[in-house]
Amino acid sequence: MTYWAHKKAFPMTEGQSHIIPYRTFILIWATLLILTGVTVAVAQFNLGALNIWVALGIATLKAGLVVAVFMHMKYEQTLFKLALLSALAILAIFIGLTFSDVLYRTP
Partner 1 sequence: MSGHVHRDYTGAKFGMWLFLYTEVLLFGGLFILYAVYLARYPQEFVSAGGQLNVWFGGGNTLVLLTSSLFVAVSITALRRGAVRLCQGLLGATVACAALFMVNKFFEWSAKIDHGIYPGSAQLKKLAPGEMVFFNIYYLTTGLHGIHVVIGAAVLIWTMVFIKTGRVHADDWVILENAGLYWHLVDLIWIFIFPLYYLLLH
Partner 2 sequence: MTSEQPPAPADRGFFGEARYPGIFGWIFSTDHKRIGLLYLWCIVAFFCVGVLLGLLIRLELFAPGRTIMDAQTYNAVFTLHGVIMIFLFIIPGIPAAFGNLIMPIQLGARDVAFPRLNLLSWWLYISGAGLAVTALFTGGGPPDTGWTFYVPFSAQTSTNVSLATVAVFILGFSSILTGINFVTTIHRLRAEGMTWMRIPLFTWSLYATAWIQILATPVLGITVALLFAERVIGTGLFDPAQGGDPIMFQHLFWIYSHPAVYIMVLPGMGVVSDIVPVFCRKPAFGYKAIVVSSLAIAFAGSLVWAHHMYTSGMSDTAVMVFSFLTFIVAIPSAIKVFNWLATMYQGSILLDPPLLYALSFILLFTIGGLTGLVLGAAAADVHVHDTYFVVGHFHFTMFGGTGMAFFAAMHYWLPKIYGRMYDKTVATVAWGTIFIGFCILYISMKVVGMQGMPRRYWDYVPEFTGLNQLGTFGSWILGIGLVLMFVNLIRGVRSGTPVGANPWGGASLEWQVPSPPPTENFEEDPVVTHGPYDFKKAGIL
Question: Interaction with partner 1 in 87-106: which residues (CB under 8 A)?
Answer: 87-88, 90-91, 94-95, 98-99, 102-103
Sign of CA dihedral 77, 82, 83, 88: positive
Residues 6 and 14 sit within 8 Å (Cβ to Cβ): yes
**Residue 75 binding partner 1, by CB under 8 A:** no
Strands of the chain (E only): list them. none
**Residue 34 binding partner 1, by CB under 8 A:** no
**Residue 11 binding partner 2, by CB under 8 A:** no
Give how many residues touch partner 1 by CB under 8 A: 55
Q: What are φ and ψ of residue 9, in 5° steps? A: -70, -40
Residues 65 and 32 sit within 8 Å (Cβ to Cβ): yes
The site map against partner 1 for 53-72 (x = CB under 8 A) is --xx-xx--xx--xx-xxx-
Where along the sequence are the contacts to partner 2 (CB under 8 A)?
2-4, 79, 86-87, 90, 93-94, 97-98, 100-106
